[in-house]
Amino acid sequence: MKLELHGLSVRYGRGRNLMTAVDGIDLAVPAGATVGLVGESGCGKSTVARAVVGLVPTSGGRILLDGVDVTANRVRNRPEFRRRVQMVFQDPYASLNPRMSIQAILKEAAARADGSRPRRAPAEMAELVGLPATVLGRYPHQLSGGQRQRIAIARALAVNPGVIVLDEVTSALDVSVQGSVLNLLRDLQREMNVSYVFISHDLSTVRYMSDTVSVMYLGRIVETARTEDLFARPQHPYTTGLIDSVPRLHAPRTTAPLAGDLPDPRRPPTGCRLSPRCPVGPLHRPDREICHTTDPQSIAAQKVHEAACHFAVDAAHAVVPAP
Ligand code: ADP
Ligand code: MG
CB 62 within 8 A of CB 223: no
Residue closest by Cα to atom 13 of ligand 1 = 42
Q: Are strands 3-12 and 60-65 parallel, antiparallel or unpaired?
A: antiparallel
Q: In this predicted model, what pLDDT tens digit does every residue of 228-282 receive, in sequence order?
A: 999 998 889 999 899 988 877 666 666 778 888 889 989 999 999 999 999 889 9
Q: Pick from 203, 196, 240, 224: which is nearest to 52 by CA?
A: 196
What is the model's pLDDT at position 319?
41
Going by pLDDT thresholds of 50, 70 and 90, the confidence category of residue 310 is confident
> From ligand 1's centre to the CA of 284, what distance in Å?
30
**C-alpha to C-alpha distance for 237 and 243, rounded to whole angstroms:** 10
CA 9 to chain centre: 15
For every residue of 107-126, DSSP letters joined together read HHHHHTS-TTSPPPPHHHHH
Q: How far is the CA of 21 from the centre of ligand 1 (A)?
A: 6
Catalogue the E-assigned strands of 137-277. 163-167, 195-200, 212-217, 220-226
Task: Choose between 95 and 3: higher pLDDT.
Answer: 3
Band (74; pLDDT cuts 50, 70, 90) = confident
Whose alpha carbon is nearest atom 25 of ligand 1? 12
Distance from C-alpha of 181 to C-alpha of 316, rounded to nearest angstrom: 32
Q: What whole-number percentage of the chain has pLDDT above 70?
A: 92
Quickly state the pLDDT bin for 298 (edges 50, 70, 90): low
Q: Which ligand 1 atom is the nearest neighbour of the CA of 262? A: 14
